[in-house]
Structure 1
């Protein structure tokens, strides 16, 4: 077995990273199941004793989500309606026990095409803060995840936080996921939406992201552009066409065929849009 370290401060963890190669451990909800009965040969850097990496805080220009923040933390946090999609996704991640331990940072670092947190984080324009012994840098989430199980995180870096830039106070988020059963399931397809209305109740900005239908979850830019200026109310789903999801690249696997994933992605987009505009329609124009 390699070395094991459980620092209590971020600086201490970064100093450890100067000394060889480490496997970063946060919630461990992916690491331990993948390990199985095999002996652990890697050196483990356990971050769970670093309080500065945990929690959700308000900053001048947005929200900071610490790298150790769990899905349960997200569910319980008081956040604007723009985060409703992320909260809904948090409730879909495994069981309650997994939600209590698993972290948002671990979810994006795992870089699975079916990572539940990625589509809603994309609609929030999330940025990833990477810390290393030489300093810190930020990348957009879209630039951070580069492929299946691949990220732009360097060997000497760890994800210290996610940053969510400010969104409009009237913005509404939503999230829908389809699996072979209701809970404890890997997605066949999933969709996150965020709608921002203007003072007249028209869509000023739309963000739509689809996961499990391409190597990396992706925004539907064509659909987003077509929604601008439309009334943010029931019936918006009629704007979605097959052309809007044609750029997805789903695969055939045991959970569904590529054609099925494409069809269901379009339907989930329609339903997620209706769910996002429902509270706006109830409130009426500002």
Structure 2
């Protein structure tokens, strides 16, 4: 096993070009995945790369550095529509995990229960992949291919997450269902972004996690809700069949329970985004 700790992004990319490495960022999932066994892979520790910290904004995007921790995200002065991502940040493990775990690492781990994925899907986020040859920007909806599988090539690092300014309008909500309130892997979770205008839904984005191998945007429900009045939203959600989801039975819940839970938490996330009771007795 070899271990390298580059101090610049250029140095890291040169190493990535030389041979395959296992990238170590926050490390919150890296060591538990070993199951108590030895480290056998060559490890590239990117925790010294200051270039991947912080966030920035331009006329077109808000850019979150790949090494931004969940705790740093919670303190960042982001637009209100990022509230769903900050709510997810509070549910990522313990405070100690939030202090070292990174937003990009949560995506690269590619767990179906990754807390950050539904909010970022609802923000139309893109993943910036950088290699010695250059950069490419991949929609998050395409980046995660399945359980623990992503589009990242062996010579690429995730260097940032980009959210288009067009998705930064409106407000948002996030609801996570687990066996207890904290320190739990989700049974189901939902994120919703909502833009209301003149008493109608002008824009909506909804994503559900832990109910498929990959978190999914609910494009069909978004189309149903477009142009609806807020009071009609709960009934429209209740009548929707959720065909995008493919839940499974496991130790945390059955497929049928997950499907019904998704219906409820989507309605609650939308209510949070609206900042009011959307009829049907479902409060934000």
TM range (shorter): over 0.9
- What stretches of structure 2 of length at least 5 have no aligned partner? 279-284
CA-CA distance at 1:132 after TM superposition:
0.6
Computed over aligned residues only, the root mean square deviation of the Cα atoms, in angstroms, reads 1.6
| Counterpart in the other structure of 1:70 | 69
User: How many Å separate the matches in 2 of 1:104 and 1:280?
Assistant: 31
Q: Which moved more, 1:218-227 or 1:250-259?
A: 218-227
| Cα separation, partners in 2 of 1:78 and 1:244, compared to 1, 3 Å | farther
Please tell me whether residue 245 in structure 1 is matched to residue 242 in structure 2: yes
Q: TM-score, normalised by structure 2?
A: 0.94
1:218 is matched with which residue: 216, 228, 232? 216
Q: TM-score, normalised by structure 1?
A: 0.93
Asked if the contact 2:71–2:89 (Cα under 8 Å) also holds between the matched residues in 1, the reply is yes
User: How many Å separate the matches in 2 of 1:132 and 1:256?
Assistant: 40
- SS for the counterpart of 2:268 is helix
- What stretches of structure 1 of length at least 5 have no aligned partner? 282-286
CA-CA distance at 1:168 after TM superposition:
6.1
| Counterpart in the other structure of 2:26 | 27
Deviation per CA, 1:51-102: give whole Å up to 9, x if none: 1101111122120001101111111111111101101000000000000010
User: How many Å separate the matches in 2 of 1:181 and 1:273?
Assistant: 22
Deviation per CA, 1:11-65: give whole Å up to 9, x if none: 0100111221110010000001112321111111111101110111112212000
Asked if the contact 1:242–1:266 (Cα under 8 Å) also holds between the matched residues in 2, the reply is no
| Cα separation, partners in 2 of 1:87 and 1:279, compared to 1, 3 Å | farther
CA-CA distance at 1:246 after TM superposition:
3.3
User: How many Å separate the matches in 1 of 2:224 and 2:119?
Assistant: 20
CA-CA distance at 1:167 after TM superposition:
3.4
User: How many Å separate the matches in 2 of 1:6 and 1:227?
Assistant: 49
User: How many Å separate the matches in 2 of 1:276 and 1:118?
Assistant: 17
